[in-house]
A and B are shown apart, each in its own frame.
Chain A
Amino acid sequence: MQSKLIRSIVYWVILSPLVVVILFPFGVMFVTAVRPRDELFVFPPTWWFSEFRWGNFAEMWVKTSFGQALLNSVYVSVMSTLLALALSIPAAYALSRYRFPGKGAYRTFLLMTQMMSPIVLVLGLFRLMVALGMVNNLNSLVLTYAAFNMAFTIWMLQSYFNTIPRDLEEAAWIDGATHFSSLIRIFLPLAVPAMAVTGIFSFINAWNEFVLALTMIRSSDDFTLPVQIYSQVAGRYQVEWHHVMAGTVLATVPVAIVFSWLQKYLIRGMALGAVK
């Protein structure tokens, strides 16, 4: 007991510089978001401020058309996640349950596309969307996010599907159920948690994506949140930092909470599948 206490103190002391550096920007974010505007550029700089201006959030919402960007982000993240899941669930099931020719090559293909970064292809992707007439169209992001996320979702789903015992399905076949009905009635209900977790991570990936959104979307009505907040900062002479920070608080905190809550599933899925 004694040694655990000592170890706890030593570890926290060692970790404390990192903890401070991680929490520092969160402090900055909150303190700036609720600051009165005329206390932003004080000199010498100080953490102190005279009052909590919760009105900053409402003001920011209207002035930066935050609501529209939020809707755009929700649309793109939900649609790309649904598309990725719709295509990944059968693929992951096939990987987990069947042998088929080219399975090894397919797994290699998945691993490789998982590593493929949009930024290296961004010019080609832009030209593709020009050719399809989809520049400035949120669906261009739905398609690309789904395509780039799919390798990850298939891996995650497959590694979870492998943990669902085949015996249950096989027992149903013996009882005369068709493969299709055993899939629907027995397998899918057991797989719901895996699909939910995978879907949420796919959602977060899409929610946080920057480069493609910056490239494909040109008009501010169609900006997603990261681009909308970036546009408040980039190339402006006067940046309304209290609005920017209020925006980052609203855009990041809910997602961060969900992520922290579900992180152990991500770690488990990675341990089971992708990183073995």
Chain B
Amino acid sequence: MPALPAPNVHDGSEMTSFSGLKPLAMILPGLFLAMFIIGYPVADLAYTSLQEVSRFGKLQGFAGFANFAEVFSDPLFWSSLYRTAIWTVCVVAGTLLLSLPIAIMLNEDFYGRGLARVIIMLPWAISLTMTAVVWRWTLNGRSGLLNATLMDVGIIAEPIEWLAEAQLAFTVEILVGILVSIPFTTTIFLGGLSSMPQESYEASMVDGATRWDQFIHITLPLMKPFINIAIVLNVIYVFNSLPIIWVMTEGGPANGTDILVTYLYKLAFRFGQLGKAAAISLIMFGVLLAFTILYVMLVSRGDRQPEEVEEG
């Protein structure tokens, strides 16, 4: 990029003599806190997962991989894992399929666009816990206002117990999950769309391309990096998300809506099976790390060009 200014004089003389220890001193306090609050638990989980732990949290000695063996022979672990996969894939796929057209519409000029933006971003502003509490009441099997509405409109004749049966409850939770993930994903896409070169659209218009052609041949390829980032970030967030399922059904009825995080939370704080919970935490940490590394790779790929110029 030729347009960038050459490094100035101060960068050469003062900045370097100055930038030895001082910048390190500026980042260290925060780094210590983060290392401590994040590093200690990781180390502790790794240690605990290899220990035999009593119901009261006392470590009773080295147990090798017994906790992991126990986890892998637990049918509830496998069913939670399976449901975590369904939950993640459905929420992320649903979110992306809805968010891209929404972002494309919000990127264009129409009457009331500002209002539409505020409304669509609204779920982001509210904590997942509160959203889940309100939906739990909305979906109340007897007096919930969703039943009231559907009965008034004549879609159903009898109230439906939305959260009493696992399959239906899980489906509803996935839909709520999609709803709360749309704002963030739409935001990423809006960022991508705002950097689209307008000329290619105009040129393709001259060539007689339809809007569908434009979408397939211009928008989609240019949006690919943003779609990748949206997928990875959403997978990370959704895979880890406890509040919706925890507040709406607590993983019930009969563990029928448990995903790994809710199962892990129950093992740790309800059933006192710390060794097993630590083992699951570590497994999840590994998965999270893998996706995080993928994310870092995606981001640094997108960010390299300007960065290299700036840092020489």
Contact = CB atoms under 8 A, between A and B. Distances in A.
Interface of A: 4-5, 7-8, 11-12, 14-15, 18-19, 21-29, 31-32, 40-47, 87-88, 90-91, 93-95, 97-103, 106, 108-109, 111-113, 115-117, 119-128, 130, 143-144, 146-148, 150-151, 154, 170, 173, 179, 204, 207-211, 215, 226, 229-230, 233-234, 239, 241, 244-245, 248, 251-252, 255-256, 259-260, 263, 266-267, 270-271, 274-276
A248 B134 contact: yes
A28 B130 CA distance: 13
Interface stretch (B62-70, B113-121, B214-222): B113-121
B140 to A, nearest CB: 8
Nearest to A266: B187
Contact of A226 (B34, B130, B303): B130
Contact of A123 (B147, B179, B268): B268
B257 interface: no
Interface stretch (B38-46, B71-79, B83-91, B200-208): B38-46
Given A28-B134, A100-B23, A19 B119 contact: yes
A206 B23 CA distance: 28
A210 B137 contact: no
B133 A87 contact: no
Interface residues of B, number: 111
B37 A147 contact: yes
A22 B178 CA distance: 11
B14 interface: yes
A122 B265 contact: yes
A42 B265 CA distance: 35
A154 B112 contact: no
Contact of A8 (B102, B112, B291): B112
Contacts of B171: none
B309 interface: no
Contacts of A239: 137
A95 B311 CA distance: 11
B243 A47 contact: no
A91 B142 contact: no
A121 B38 contact: yes
**Most chain A CB neighbours (cut-off 10 Å) among B188, B194, B296:** B296
